[in-house]
Amino acid sequence: MSFLAACASFAPRKAEVEANLARIGEIAHQASAEGVELLLFPETITTGYFLEGGVLEASLTEAELLKRLDGLLAGIQRPIDLVIGFYMREGGDLHNAAGYFTWDGSRTSTVSIYRKIFLPTYGVFDEERFISRGQELAVFDTRLGRMAILICEDVWHSIMPTLCALKGAQVILVPAASPGRGFKGETVSNLDRYHRLVQAISEEHGVFTMNCQLVGFEGGKGFIGGSSIVDPFGNMLNQGPMLEEHLTLATIDLDAISLARSQQPLLPDLQNALGILQRSLTAIDPSL
């Protein structure tokens, strides 16, 4: 099975939810016209990232987002799946979330919503002051295969994509909002690190990885762009430009996964060693 996927990097207007949702709708129409079936947007694309105490006012419930998507996607004739990063209001909690939604030509439905687990609260980041940690991974079946979502810092913890792969993920979707740090000539150190991370994840576990980066400036901080799509051999299929809005496309051929894993069976080796690792984890924390 193969399909066309895309990362849609754009610069959201800070806290202007309706304007940003309108852009999402426009890009979805454009992408569908180009044959895209899976469209990944960045972390917090509905609002921008640095909202601090403004998170509550700009947050959305799942139902509110679904209702808006129905209107925005009307007129798209073919099915398209979208992954949208947003600040989510759920009961009394606020989350940095990403929802996987599918449009069937007449209505939008939720396939899964992931709530970010690793909330950076250091340096320029203060997420855990305003939002709550997620409590579980999101690995789920879709019409396009088995997917997982990790948000930004989640993917810097190697155990997270490992667990996703063990739970059967074929494509790991990574929306992110990463301010540029370590500018050296034409390179940015944290973007280089992201590219190395997603290539290593794909090669180790035999999965496709899509990383969609926010772009634009918020409070003097520049988000880097440079989205990437990597195949299960660790090859960069496509890479977007830095600091620019861009639709980065690549064909996802799920048949490549079995070939990659047969050539380098690291994931099966890991599965065979789970009992040993479980004993080590229990020694660290007996409650596990």
Are the CB atoms for 179 and 223 separated by under 8 Å? yes
Amino acid 53: pLDDT: 83
Q: Is the pLDDT assigned to residue 222 strictly greater than 90? A: no
% of the chain residues with pLDDT over 90? 85
pLDDT band at residue 128 using 50, 70 and 90 as cut-offs: confident
Q: Is the pLDDT assigned to residue 184 strictly greater than 80? A: no
Are the CB atoms for 36 and 4 separated by under 8 Å? yes
Distance, CA of 279 to CA of 8 (rounded, Å): 42
To the nearest 10°, the Cα dihedral for 22, 58, 174, 213?
A: 60
Q: Which domains does the chain have, with CATH numbers?
A: 2-262 (3.60.110.10)
Are the CB atoms for 174 and 248 separated by under 8 Å? no
Amino acid 187: pLDDT: 67
Amino acid 185: pLDDT: 61
- Residue 272: exposed, middle, or buried by beta-carbon count in 10 A (0-12, 13-18, 19+)? exposed
Average confidence (pLDDT) over 77-102: 98
Average confidence (pLDDT) over 269-276: 94
Strand 80-90, strand 93-103: pairing: antiparallel
Distance, CA of 166 to CA of 172 (rounded, Å): 12
- Chain-wide mean pLDDT for the chain? 94
Across the beta sheet with 171-176, what order do the strands follow? 138-142, 145-149, 171-176, 208-213, 228-230, 236-239
Are the CB atoms for 38 and 79 separated by under 8 Å? no
**Residue type for 193, please?**
R
Cα–Cα distance list, 118 to 113, 122, 176, 202 (Å): 16, 12, 12, 21
